[in-house]
Structure 1
Amino acid sequence: MRLFLKFIVVGFLNTVISYILFIAFLSILNYQASYTLSYCLSIGISYLLNTKIVFNVNRSIKSFLRFPLVYLVQYIFGFIILYLLNQYTKIENHIGILIVIFLSIPLTFILSRVVLLKKIQ
């Protein structure tokens, strides 16, 4: 449980950064491009924070190259949810992204743990 709490705190910090980037990009780009760009930038931040603070593992080229796979799955999940919210509800994009973030937390934790620790503890 302590590991999950660290993940939540680090994820919150990374989410705030990602959300700020999304909102900034939204002023000049459409929601799809804004989501994609802010998402890609947050992957690097997440890798640094998760390897050091959450999972306390050594960084390596191998883990660095595997880590984006977690976020590829999360990206596809989030893109679909954001699309559905945009197309079928009246929820605005700046709120929709918060729903996406909330829904993706458990998925991201499990996948990150598997990738960085190579096993489920």
Structure 2
Amino acid sequence: MTTTAWQVVRFALVGAVNTGTYYGLYLLFGLRLPYLAAHVLAFLLSMVGSFFLTSYFTYRTRPTWRKFLLFPLTNAANFVITTVGVYVLVDLAGLSARYAPLIAAAGAVPVTFLLSRTIMLRPDTTRTHESLVETVASK
């Protein structure tokens, strides 16, 4: 199996854990909050855990502040897709607010993988610059 294929498998596993975390929080918050508020809060909290699992397990890279700050950008597409999906499924299609997030999340997976891979595997500019300086200095 190629490196990318293994990343897809690990991404799917992290996604399953993250979805379970998100869904548990969504149901918990849904006991007291409207469904969209429960969705937003659960999404934000599960995103932090997702960042560390994605760093260490999916891409086997060191988490940095730069990646942490960029990681929410990768989830912006996920957030938009799932939020619109939840709204469409609940308010327009009449599906239960209990199951709509799971269906909406499936549509966001491919986009989230490509964006997270781009950010998490992007070389650190500082480290790249240091390597360039070392290479020039050794000649």
Structure 2: give runs of 5+ residues left out of the alignment.
124-139
1:78-117 map, 5 Å? 78-117=82-121
**By how many angstroms is 1:108 displaced?**
0.9
TM-score when scaled to structure 2? 0.82
1:29-108 map, 5 Å? 29-108=33-112
**By how many angstroms is 1:94 displaced?**
1.3
1:94 counterpart SS class: coil
- List structure 1 segments (4+ residues) > 2 angstroms apart after TM superposition: none
Identity level (%): 27
In 2, the alpha carbon distance for the partners of 1:102 and 1:75 equals: 12
TM-score when scaled to structure 1? 0.94
Q: How many residues align?
A: 119
Structure 1: give runs of 5+ residues left out of the alignment.
none
Q: Which has the higher contact order (CA 8 A, sep 6+)?
A: 1
Equivalent residues of 2:82, 2:104 under 8 A apart: yes
Bigger radius of gyration, 1 or 2? 2
**By how many angstroms is 1:102 displaced?**
1.1
